[in-house]
């Protein structure tokens, strides 16, 4: 029976935690920010990012749901191990937080998954002072930006869903969230180059509203599709199937 349990565990591990090649601790399964650089400071709107060091708002996440999404967003997706990372947090005060890692890259693509939660201020802000999340991939070897994408709370598309209304900063604010999705960036032309990937989440630039993002699954291998991840009950069925096969084989050998 011990062997069967062991086999079932191996099967579950094989499907549960893919190897996040290329990045150090790309799935945060060390349970820390080991391998990553945290930075940030205060944002004054527009290009006014005043770096004064990590504001200390980012954290390693374990399973649970995000309250400001109305508990609809998972902090750690099934199939992505035990931990994810959150950068920045929901509280105001014009903070921004970054997470970055420099890698010598030898693969065809960089993959990762993110989800974001942003507060739409109750009083209208200019676009360039709104809570936001951004992704930047820079080729350090050639000093060029390979990928740059930003999401701010006034430019939301249909992928964004309504979270809770009000709190904890502004009783007339609407929180929005974007469920986990996979980003893939083609890097086949840059093998052997040094690449710097930076994720940034920021409060509003006026100081009264928050924004943050969840991150996981950084590597050269595409992580599990968000909509196609087997439920835990499926793992149990798979494990039971393997156990059953072993049982019948043993009986047959006798």
List the interface residues with Ca ion, window 185-204 (CB under 5 A): 203
Q: Taking CB under 5 A as the rule, does residue 95 contact Ca ion? A: yes
Closer to Ca ion by CB, 86 or 138: give it.
86
- CA angle (223, 164, 75) in 5-degree steps: 25
Residue with tokens 């935690």: 17
Closer to Ca ion by CB, 59 or 91: give it.
91
Least distance (Å) from Ca ion to the CB of residue 130? 14
Least distance (Å) from Ca ion to the CB of residue 210? 5
Closer to Ca ion by CB, 29 or 194: give it.
29
Q: Taking CB under 5 A as the rule, does residue 27 contact Ca ion? A: yes
Least distance (Å) from Ca ion to the CB of residue 147? 22
List % helix, strand, coil for the chain (3-state, nearest 5): 20, 35, 45
Among 66, 119, 170, 216, binds Ca ion (CB under 5 A): 216
Cβ neighbours of residue 178 closer than 8 Å, sequence gap 6 or more: 115, 116, 117, 151, 156, 159, 160, 161
What binding mask, one character per residue, do residues 106-145 give for Ca ion by CB under 5 A, x or -?
Answer: ----------------------------------------
Contact 62, 119 (CB under 8 A): no
Find, among 67, 70, 64, the residue nearest to 163 by Cα. 70
**For the chain, how many residues are written?**
254
CA–centroid distance for 127 within its chain = 24
Q: Taking CB under 5 A as the rule, does residue 224 contact Ca ion? A: no
Which runs of consecutive H residues, i.e. helices, occur in the chain? 2-16, 232-253
Residues that bind Ca ion (CB under 5 A): 27-28, 80-81, 83, 91, 93, 95, 203, 216
């Amino acid at each position: 029976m011990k062997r069967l349990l062991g086999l079932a565990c191996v099967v579950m591990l094989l499907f549960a935690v893919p190897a996040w090649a290329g990045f150090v601790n790309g799935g945060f399964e060390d349970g820390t920010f080991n391998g990553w650089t945290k930075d940030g400071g205060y944002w004054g709107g527009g290009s006014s990012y005043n770096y004064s060091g990590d504001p200390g708002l980012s954290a390693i996440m374990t399973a649970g749901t995000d309250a400001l999404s109305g508990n609809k967003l998972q902090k750690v997706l099934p199939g992505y191990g035990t931990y994810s990372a959150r950068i920045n947090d929901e509280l105001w005060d014009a903070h921004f937080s970054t997470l970055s890692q420099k890698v010598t890259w030898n693969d065809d693509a960089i993959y990762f998954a993110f989800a974001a939660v942003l507060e739409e201020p109750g009083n209208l802000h200019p676009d360039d002072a709104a809570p936001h999340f951004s992704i930047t991939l820079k080729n350090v070897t050639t000093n060029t930006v390979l990928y740059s994408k930003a999401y701010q709370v006034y430019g939301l598309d249909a992928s964004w869903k309504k979270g809770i209304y009000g709190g904890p900063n502004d009783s007339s604010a609407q929180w929005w969230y974007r469920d986990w999705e996979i980003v893939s960036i083609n890097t086949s032309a840059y093998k052997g180059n040094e690449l710097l990937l930076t994720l940034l989440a920021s409060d509003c630039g006026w100081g009264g509203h928050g924004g943050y993002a969840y991150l996981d699954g950084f590597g050269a291998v595409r992580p599990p599709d968000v909509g196609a991840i087997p439920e835990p009950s499926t793992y149990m069925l798979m494990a039971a199937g393997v156990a059953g096969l072993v049982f019948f084989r043993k009986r047959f050998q006798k």
